[in-house]
Structure 1
Amino acid sequence: MVLTLVPLPSSVTAGSGSFALSPATRIVIVDGADAAASALSDLLAHRPGLRSEVTTDPAVAGDIVLRSTDSDDEAYRLDVTDRVELTGSAAGLFYGIQTLRQLLREDAGAWSIPQVSIVDVPRFAYRGVMLDVARTFFDVATVKAFIDRASSLKFNRLHLHLTDDQGWRLQIDSRPLLTEKAAGTSALGRPGGFYTKDDFREIIAYAAAHHMVVVPEIDLPGHTHAIGLAYPETVEAPVMNDMLLAQSESLGQPLPVAGEPYQGWGVGHSSVRIHEEATWDFLRDVLGEVAELTPGPYLHVGGDECLGTPQADFDAFVERVTALTIELGKTPVAWHEAGSAAVAEGTVGQFWGSDTPSPEHIEHTLRFAERGGSVILSPSTRAYLDMKYSPEDPLGLSWAAVIDLEAAYSWEPTAIVPGLDPHAIIGIEGPLWAETLTTLDDVDHLFFPRAAALAEIAWAPASAKDWNAFRERVGGLGSVWDAEGWGGHRPAEIDWSTP
């Protein structure tokens, strides 16, 4: 019997029988595992014929026992015999419940869990996904649905790309024109929108309940055309580049015009006015409010694709903005190009180049580790969730690569950037850019099943990598995702289970 577990746990020993669930199955709380009991009760309530009494009474055969520990790691232990016993920290219990979600099986109306012993701990501390809400605005309900999907695969970081040339998506009290004038549209003229501070707090709280930390991004100094709609004194005039001109012509998209919403998705034409103190007054206001609003340790300040910005100006900006972020009490995160500058000590770099990076990209990425920081790996040719599965795919782009499921699975983080100390890698992230997306179904199509491949890379031991074993296990998750009402792409080369 194949245990359809993704990501693969650190240690799995399968038994020979199964644990049968019934309406009499109880959830027994030990040492304050209340939040986990609520999550498991909700999970079971969505399975026909199951209900779950929650109790603190002594456990007996037929019970599901949740035992909380006071550790602060993400490890858990799961033993399924004549009862289910799950032990771990708050995060560990949550991840163990995601494992139970994948193990639950229904046959002729009867639900069971195979007997198994699992000891599990993640490989990387940072296991992230990114949702681009700037090119296409997604409402709070859609972001929550995205959190549901990501956390089920044990991702623990949600990077929200909140600003770009196409729109500004977060209320800033000190700069109200950002949402009054710069939030109304998305790419291709699609509807815009923004999150009020209460909306954003709701997202943060929902993520926290799913053991995900929100990483907000204010993309700087480029990708800032939308800022100019609200505060034109802080932004330079658009600077055209050959790539932008060629893309605009090939896609039939408009070129950026100062003071008008930008509806294309070309890059490299915008920049804040780096040497104006009014710009820095603006940035202190904006980054200060975002830092105050965000309980997590990170604040992403962008740093990518500043094609029209002189290198010396870019480096001066990066040095100053990462120092400002430190002053605000946050760890700055920046795309790898920012490594050309003297980034503030401890800045985290996010590599998004090819899985065969250029010498310049290698040099820039190494800079973060040299200055006491660390690195998140998001190689665009492997980890970009917005790339097409095949050239014929109706959704996604292909500028980086066409990424099928095997390509998303078959890479090793420590082999991407030559010379990077493996200890400097805090994890990986799968970005989902939204140029071609409009609905949650579109998100599902590009997210599933490739996110499962990235989840396994982030969580499972490197020695466990086995494409043929993974394709068999991930195929078994078809029925799990269908039971949740989650869509996605189902590649023909995988034998998908059905409910």
Structure 2
Amino acid sequence: MPTLPLVPLPRRVAPTEAASPFPITSATTVSGDTDAAGTLAALLRTRTGLEPGATDDGDIVLSVDGGGGEPESYRLRVGADGIRIDGADAAGLFYGIHTLVQLIHGTDAGWIVPAAEIEDAPRFAYRGVMLDVARHFHDVDTVRAYIDRAAALKFNHLHLHLSDDQGWRLEIRSRPELTRAASATSVGGGPGGYYTQDDYRAIVAYAASRHMTVVPELDMPGHTHAVGIAHPELAENPVLDAVVSSAGPTPRADEPYTGIDVGFSSLRIGEDATYDFVADVFGELAELTPGPYLHFGGDEALGTSPEDFAAFVARASEIVRRTGKTPVAWHEAGAAPGLAPGTIGQYWSFVTPVDGADERARAFTRGGGRLILSPADAVYLDMKPHEDFPLGLTWARGATSVERAYRWEPSAVVDGLAEEDILGVEAPLWTETVATLEDIDALAFPRIAAAAEAAWSPATSDAADRTWESFRARTGGLGPLWATLGIRFPASPEIPWTT
């Protein structure tokens, strides 16, 4: 029997080769959970052009059974007599629907779903993608489209990188200068932009409708040149000898920054006004954000002394904690002895840690927190997939092939961590070279599928099909689905695509 095109790999798949497939026709009907039925109907229209009917006893039955299964889990059965999906909760049913849609394929006789029985549940509770909207601004419709793409692969968190040296992208009503003075440009001098609070609420609501939680990030004390444009009294002058250089424009304190260098900017650590600012922006952000996490950055503060960095991280993490949210920070913040208890760390070094990143990451777990794993040489989607690709960067050990994006195991990255120390996996997409949804698709796909499998599927030692050979075959089978969904993915030669 051909390999079923399922990504991420479910926990248990039992194809029933002798059984007849179920046909999808214009007479197919759906019954059960109303919201789930609407989701399935929309996906069926896009995939097949057919409009399923609604009855009390449908050919496809969708149910939230509340049977005590693991959160986000589901069971799917396909037989000649019909299809049934039972989710332990609404999210599980949603994911079961997307698994069903992956199974649908066309034949000379029409659309069919192969007979199979699937039991599935996620390995990690946190399965994230990050979209940087600071280097290049991406409007609400683009963010919604990325949410749809990620949710279909069972990601459940959207990390929005809302501020950086190049721009501030969220309306803060107590600090109107941030968007008035520091949002109009982006990398290369192109147009900027920002989200009104209503825009942000619309993104949060759309994500929630796809069972995704928004994790907003306002990066500090570094990556804050834009803050200095709006509030020069809060920012130090650029520290030019700290720049990780790309031979771009020289940062100047009184000018918006349009290059891609990092490391030169810093807030003024010893000023009480700085912490009033931190309290204002994270206070409003907490009110706007129903999810549990607020990310305060903490990375690449090369223009800040280690002592000042530690002092800032201690105060900023406590300010975030006092909003009632859980602070999140990049792994460098683990060097601060006063980090607020329970802070979540996000590890962005390599699959094999360098420069003490593993020790700083372990510090979060000693403080009662957990880790999100984002090894740059595996899941940074902004890395070029090969050296000649027109988009992306190569600083994370050169180009990242699809195979390299797949061949890593989360439990093996940071020594000394137990499985329960890992909150999950996140695939960031930084946008120095990414200006459009087409650019997002070109860099994210198909490698985003590898990150999805690392986040959802069993460990590589616990499932026979958690292999590169299996993954490339399963991913190749998704080409027709991705095309009908409007995803403009490059046809990587590493994948045997179904046509």
Do the structures match in fold with TM over 0.5? yes
Rounded Cα–Cα distance in structure 1 between residues aligned with 2:304 and 2:47:
55
* Aligned partners of 2:30 and 2:57 also within 8 Å: no
Counterpart of 2:38 in 1: which secondary structure?
Answer: helix
Alignment correspondent of 2:392: 396
Counterpart of 2:50 in 1: which secondary structure?
Answer: coil
1:437 Cα shift? 0.9
Alignment correspondent of 2:299: 304
Which range moves more in the overlay, 487-496 or 148-157? 487-496
1:422 Cα shift? 2.4
Alignment correspondent of 2:82: 83
1:420 Cα shift? 2.1
Counterpart of 1:255 in 2: which secondary structure?
Answer: coil
Which range moves more in the overlay, 317-326 or 15-24? 15-24
* Aligned partners of 1:237 and 1:258 also within 8 Å: yes
* Aligned partners of 1:49 and 1:109 also within 8 Å: no
Rounded Cα–Cα distance in structure 1 between residues aligned with 2:281 and 2:113:
49
1:109 Cα shift? 6.8
Alignment correspondent of 1:497: 498
* Aligned partners of 1:241 and 1:307 also within 8 Å: no
Find the partner of 2:343 among 337, 343, 347: 347
Which range moves more in the overlay, 123-132 or 65-74? 65-74
Which range moves more in the overlay, 365-374 or 20-29? 20-29
Alignment correspondent of 1:73: 71
| Deviation string, structure 1 residues 152-184 (Cα, Å, up to 9, x no partner) | 110111000000000000000111111111000
Rounded Cα–Cα distance in structure 2 between residues aligned with 1:384 and 1:68:
35
Amino acid aligned to 2:31: V
Alignment correspondent of 2:285: 290
Alignment correspondent of 1:19: 22
Q: Does 1:247 align with 2:246?
A: yes
1:383 Cα shift? 1.1
Amino acid aligned to 1:198: D
Rounded Cα–Cα distance in structure 2 between residues aligned with 1:121 and 1:48:
27
Rounded Cα–Cα distance in structure 1 between residues aligned with 2:306 and 2:417:
24
Alignment correspondent of 1:110: 110
Alignment correspondent of 1:407: 404
1:47 Cα shift? 3.5
Aligned residues: 486
Amino acid aligned to 1:302: G
Rounded Cα–Cα distance in structure 2 between residues aligned with 1:49 and 1:142:
24
1:15 Cα shift? 1.5
Amino acid aligned to 2:418: D
| Deviation string, structure 1 residues 398-440 (Cα, Å, up to 9, x no partner) | 0112100000000011111112222100111110000011111
1:495 Cα shift? 1.2
Q: C-alpha root-mean-square deviation of aligned residues, in Å?
A: 1.2
Rounded Cα–Cα distance in structure 2 between residues aligned with 1:98 and 1:123:
17
1:212 Cα shift? 0.6
Q: How do residues 348-427 of structure 1 correspond to structure 2 at under 5 angstroms?
A: 348-358=344-354, 360-401=356-397, 402-427=399-424
Counterpart of 1:389 in 2: which secondary structure?
Answer: coil
Amino acid aligned to 1:190: G
Rounded Cα–Cα distance in structure 1 between residues aligned with 2:284 and 2:355:
37
Rounded Cα–Cα distance in structure 2 between residues aligned with 1:489 and 1:300:
32
Alignment correspondent of 2:251: 256
Rounded Cα–Cα distance in structure 2 between residues aligned with 1:220 and 1:175:
16
Q: How do residues 147-158 of structure 1 correspond to structure 2 at under 5 angstroms?
A: 147-158=147-158
Amino acid aligned to 2:84: E
1:493 Cα shift? 2.7
Rounded Cα–Cα distance in structure 1 between residues aligned with 2:494 and 2:253:
48
Percent identity reads 54
Alignment correspondent of 1:40: 40
| Deviation string, structure 1 residues 91-131 (Cα, Å, up to 9, x no partner) | 00100011011111122472111110000001111111100
Q: How do residues 392-471 of structure 1 correspond to structure 2 at under 5 angstroms?
A: 392-401=388-397, 402-462=399-459, 463-464=462-463, 465-471=466-472
* Aligned partners of 1:241 and 1:268 also within 8 Å: no
Counterpart of 1:241 in 2: which secondary structure?
Answer: helix
| Deviation string, structure 1 residues 307-358 (Cα, Å, up to 9, x no partner) | 0101111001101111111100100000000000121111000000111113
Which range moves more in the overlay, 74-83 or 421-430? 421-430
Q: Does 1:52 align with 2:52?
A: yes
Rounded Cα–Cα distance in structure 2 between residues aligned with 1:98 and 1:75:
13
1:242 Cα shift? 5.4
Rounded Cα–Cα distance in structure 2 between residues aligned with 1:459 and 1:372:
24
Rounded Cα–Cα distance in structure 1 between residues aligned with 2:6 and 2:48:
22
Q: Does 1:320 align with 2:315?
A: yes
Distance 1:184 1:324, change over 3 A: same
Counterpart of 1:20 in 2: which secondary structure?
Answer: strand
Amino acid aligned to 2:213: V
